[in-house]
Structure 1
């Protein structure tokens, strides 16, 4: 009984109800012992590799490629395994096959003269890679990741050594049979997807999947089917979540951004949002208006002149609707403190000027056919009809509903994981570095309690469908989180949308950032924030996105002596001219913390046909002298608790508190 000395009868009595429930899963002493042995063994495996990405903004091709190549990890593995036994072009071909097996196989079969010989060599190579990437996992975990049709065969190949002379003929027999019965293509594809699956154990998206790029819906399809991911909602994600919940301001902003970047793919093709009512209204209302101010940022789009003209008209129409809707929300909520965002009542519509802080400014565009100067915030009857139809389309899109529920199920405003604190943008602070108290419904919140309250409000807005005061407030607050001065996902004095469109003076478009963005460079401030979330270890970090790191100007992603990492490096093509790169990936494996800096991705087609990979430069941020094991992680702590509970169950079985079940 010495090994159970810390387990007393009193402890068992207090936990008896729970232990009876636990006994349903482990009905005998043997079952409990087997699970303890299994969990103890898992604790001594190396920790799985975590990948951190942020601000992907609809750039689905680059995003998917980074997942496929695991930020260069696949290439490093191939280099380690094959070294000088393969030529560089052979290793490149193998990597491309792993990334895009279906497409690459089609090309290879048209070029290879002896395809059976190629199959034989390639299958042996892929088995070696599979064995390497699966070695840090239990057989049980690997088995669950295997495709059902090849599960048994892959288990045999992964766990048999080809160096054993007794097994060589066995392994070769399996491989030659796979080729001879015409299953080589399917088997290669299955192994390549298994490598992609095993090389990233968990994926963290630190906010902003939506807007700007053309394929946010494609990224969401990938994530909703991904084996293990989480997201810390960014302001663009919250905007879409608010739109899906039926917030008219959020819907208008989503559409305005789509028009601004001439990106209708996610809206129309992805979610089937019917923008015909908006298009019809815009063409009729702004038929003779050049709408030059609202010419979209075309980027890489291939729209013709007629389409661009229509987008500009819709862009202006939805922008005016947005300013009216936002004004109505601001007037409903004086507690938001956003009266300075009321613009339409400050315009002299006769002379086309606006007066701000006692100074007059000429407007770049003064044609406002839908605004009543005596009641500028009121929607016209036609605008009201457009808004109602758009709201119906957003709230009834089945695909959007599926994706938003996926965001809720796998996301939150922040995450604490393995000594790291992840949140997208900001922690509101005072000038002296203390936590800023933020008023929400006449109560004050700061630090962690503010994040927890915001998280709760976001969930209330979507899931509470009762017409209550709390639900109406939560729905309006979704828009505040997009652009409110004390919003943790924004934290600037204003979002100067109106000024950027209508006023030439650039000084009015400047948005003053909250104190966090300056003070986060100080170790003491980062330590204070980490301690607020229960992290006081020397190797704890804050991980953010939101503000692109301008490497062209010498800015670095590592701040506060390594306490804080900003990994928004310009995944979005709209930012790459400022950042000079195409994003960062943070990689946290058992050996330490590594940052990959990516060059712009050309295209998946180039990668398949020419083997052009994303060029990544890796920087070691921290290196562990000893490998980090599962027991050193948060999952390890959970497993240790489970082991303790199972030992209590053993004690209960052996001392007659609970009977074994047959």
Structure 2
């Protein structure tokens, strides 16, 4: 028999005894936990770089990356026509909207209800089969919890049970609750189809609905996020970093995507528009035309013109404020990026890395050549107004708190290391030391951890004021600093792309992580440093779109690294040739689901269209993985050990059994 150090553990055991006050209750819990260990592992879904494409993202959640459609096909096979299976799937994805359509069409709605309710119960029974009854019960809506449990666990093969089930279904219809029940069970199916959602960064920018995505995630049942560079940019803006505020507004204007700023968060851009028209009204601003994807395609000429003026106005302010911050922090070693200081305003040239280049424009009415990074009086007033808008936006701060609650720089789940972009490396593939604060250098896991702590410092009320201000400033380095794990390039060539025609200056040399990540030994070295054990381990990243049109493969380093940025954003569709990936990790192994562009939710409801997806098997296990093989399994085994020690304490008189208070 195992020996226990009861006296050492007594305080903990007494606390545990409050939850399990008798041998019977402790034994029952051990039996329950042992049973759970032998269930199939839950299905994990990994997505990256959603970039505000809320309709496509929400649809992928609703259809579980095509998994619900696959289950409907398996369940009903040739017993249902393709059109009927498509309609059933659409009902599961969009129950309220589809019901309205069906009721206008069906002559005998009660007959349709009867057939459809049985079909939905069959689908729900299938997706719930790998979970305990307790877990399924916790997923059920209060109004229909008992009824759904009865329908899930009673089978119609038995004549008496079939009559019992039919009476339940008939009563749901006769009491006028069929619509509510359909909505409820459709939502349960969606919820159970994805056990855990991992978002590998970049909810924000480019697309129109980052705020809609975060509204959804605030109430999503189980998810985590590894912050991306665009997320951190918005976090910096919410923390009060004016350079980040300018970048957020500039990117929104560049992609003609003001919905998140104006409609989502109520940021008032009228002062910027007024300033831009007054200051740049005679400037053609050709370099600042919005990208002709997404929102820009629907713009009239007048709106495009105003957008271009605002775009240039905020870009100039951004470069000034960045110059000020870089000068304030020489430890960042970014002095070469204070580019307004290197402009010859008479000749119309700029010096970069010791070489002189002609600028496409040198019309900067707010710049004092003697002090080029100083804001004009009007720019100061404008920035005060924009800063105030970001600071008082309750919804933005609520969303940033949500990302702080569910996120970090990296995570390890079931022997998979998740981070958005990079783990900075030296040329020889060893982990690179990066200075986060003056005198504080870290690499690998410690770098990721302390970077995350630095981000949190910017939002803590009890932070030292100087440390908090540095943390707020540091968001700019995280966005564009050469050794930032969220950037890891030689420079961010925004200035050059706007003002210099010579494309040689537009090149951003990638860090060694991106150059060496096909090397299996390098990836093994990183995984060793983060404490991943065994052969079945992986790194999963987003950040860099995989250009399938150019033959790029998302699977690298002999299967040990998976890059799952497939281009959710419409801005990338022409480059990647697809519209996003979902990496699915279920009890049989890994599958990579490749999505084609999504038309719209309205199209899905009216015509039954779905995201067309193709599945690539990445890695399959030779046996079905169980909960026992997961992180949760490790936790459950520890709980079982603790309960066994509690049983020992009861049986040997260290702790007395008590009756549970009624």
TM-score range, shorter chain: over 0.9
Match of 2:336 in 1: 340
Structure 1: gaps of 5 or more residues: none
Match of 1:383 in 2: 379
Structure 2: gaps of 5 or more residues: none
CA distance in 1, matches of 2:546, 2:294: 23
CA distance in 1, matches of 2:276, 2:258: 16
Residues 1:84 and 2:84 are matched in the alignment: no
TM-score, structure 2 length as denominator? 0.98
State how 1:506-517 maps to structure 2 within 5 Å: 506-517=503-514
The structural deviation recorded for 1:298 is 3.6
Match of 1:145 in 2: 139
Match of 2:488 in 1: 491
- What secondary structure does 1:15 align onto? helix
Match of 1:640 in 2: 637
Match of 1:397 in 2: 393
- What secondary structure does 1:217 align onto? helix
Residues 1:622 and 2:619 are matched in the alignment: yes
Q: Which of 559, 568, 574 is the equivalent residue of 2:556?
A: 559
Cα-to-partner distance string for 1:309-358 (whole Å, 9 max, x where unaligned)? 22111111110111011111111111101111111011122232212234
CA distance in 1, matches of 2:510, 2:167: 65
CA distance in 1, matches of 2:418, 2:464: 33
Residues 1:42 and 2:36 are matched in the alignment: yes
Cα-to-partner distance string for 1:537-578 (whole Å, 9 max, x where unaligned)? 211110000000000000010001100000001101101110
State how 1:374-453 maps to structure 2 within 5 Å: 374-440=370-436, 441-453=438-450
The structural deviation recorded for 1:303 is 2.7
State how 1:112-127 maps to structure 2 within 5 Å: 112-127=106-121
Cα-to-partner distance string for 1:509-558 (whole Å, 9 max, x where unaligned)? 10000011121101111111111111132111100000000000000100
Aligned length: 656
Residues 1:369 and 2:353 are matched in the alignment: no
Note if contact 2:457-2:463 (Cα within 8 Å) is conserved in structure 1.
no
Note if contact 1:7-1:651 (Cα within 8 Å) is conserved in structure 2.
no
- What secondary structure does 1:340 align onto? helix
- What secondary structure does 1:451 align onto? helix
Match of 2:180 in 1: 186
Note if contact 1:465-1:471 (Cα within 8 Å) is conserved in structure 2.
no
Q: Which of 652, 655, 662 is the equivalent residue of 2:649?
A: 652
CA distance in 1, matches of 2:569, 2:401: 24
Note if contact 2:336-2:353 (Cα within 8 Å) is conserved in structure 1.
no
Note if contact 2:336-2:352 (Cα within 8 Å) is conserved in structure 1.
no
CA distance in 1, matches of 2:103, 2:419: 46
CA distance in 2, matches of 1:439, 1:155: 55
Residues 1:518 and 2:512 are matched in the alignment: no
Note if contact 2:255-2:294 (Cα within 8 Å) is conserved in structure 1.
no
Q: Which of 225, 228, 233 is the equivalent residue of 1:234?
A: 228
The structural deviation recorded for 1:465 is 5.8
Structure 1 stretches of 4+ with a deviation exceeding 6 A read none
Residues 1:547 and 2:544 are matched in the alignment: yes
- Which stretch shifts more, 128-137 or 32-41? 32-41
The structural deviation recorded for 1:464 is 4.2
The structural deviation recorded for 1:467 is 5.7
Cα-to-partner distance string for 1:196-243 (whole Å, 9 max, x where unaligned)? 000000000001000000000001111111000000000000111111
Cα-to-partner distance string for 1:583-613 (whole Å, 9 max, x where unaligned)? 1100000111100011111111111111111
Cα-to-partner distance string for 1:633-652 (whole Å, 9 max, x where unaligned)? 00110111111111111212
The structural deviation recorded for 1:361 is 2.0
Q: Which of 165, 175, 198 is the equivalent residue of 2:169?
A: 175
Note if contact 1:247-1:476 (Cα within 8 Å) is conserved in structure 2.
yes
Note if contact 2:256-2:294 (Cα within 8 Å) is conserved in structure 1.
no
Match of 2:283 in 1: 289
Q: Which of 15, 40, 44 is the equivalent residue of 1:21?
A: 15
CA distance in 2, matches of 1:412, 1:90: 43
- What secondary structure does 1:462 align onto? coil
- Which stretch shifts more, 49-58 or 525-534? 525-534
- What secondary structure does 2:294 align onto? coil
Question: How has the CA–CA distance of structure 1 residues 661 and 388 changed in structure 2, closer, same or farther, with 3 Å as cutoff?
Answer: farther
Q: Which of 524, 527, 533 is the equivalent residue of 1:527?
A: 524
CA distance in 1, matches of 2:285, 2:356: 23
- What secondary structure does 1:281 align onto? helix
Match of 1:133 in 2: 127
Residues 1:69 and 2:63 are matched in the alignment: yes
- Which stretch shifts more, 626-635 or 293-302? 293-302
The structural deviation recorded for 1:659 is 2.4
The structural deviation recorded for 1:461 is 1.4
- What secondary structure does 2:459 align onto? helix
Question: How has the CA–CA distance of structure 1 residues 358 and 418 changed in structure 2, closer, same or farther, with 3 Å as cutoff?
Answer: closer
Note if contact 2:343-2:349 (Cα within 8 Å) is conserved in structure 1.
yes
CA distance in 1, matches of 2:486, 2:605: 38
State how 1:443-482 maps to structure 2 within 5 Å: 443-464=440-461, 466=463, 468-482=465-479
CA distance in 2, matches of 1:393, 1:410: 25
Cα-to-partner distance string for 1:460-488 (whole Å, 9 max, x where unaligned)? 11224656221121111111111100000
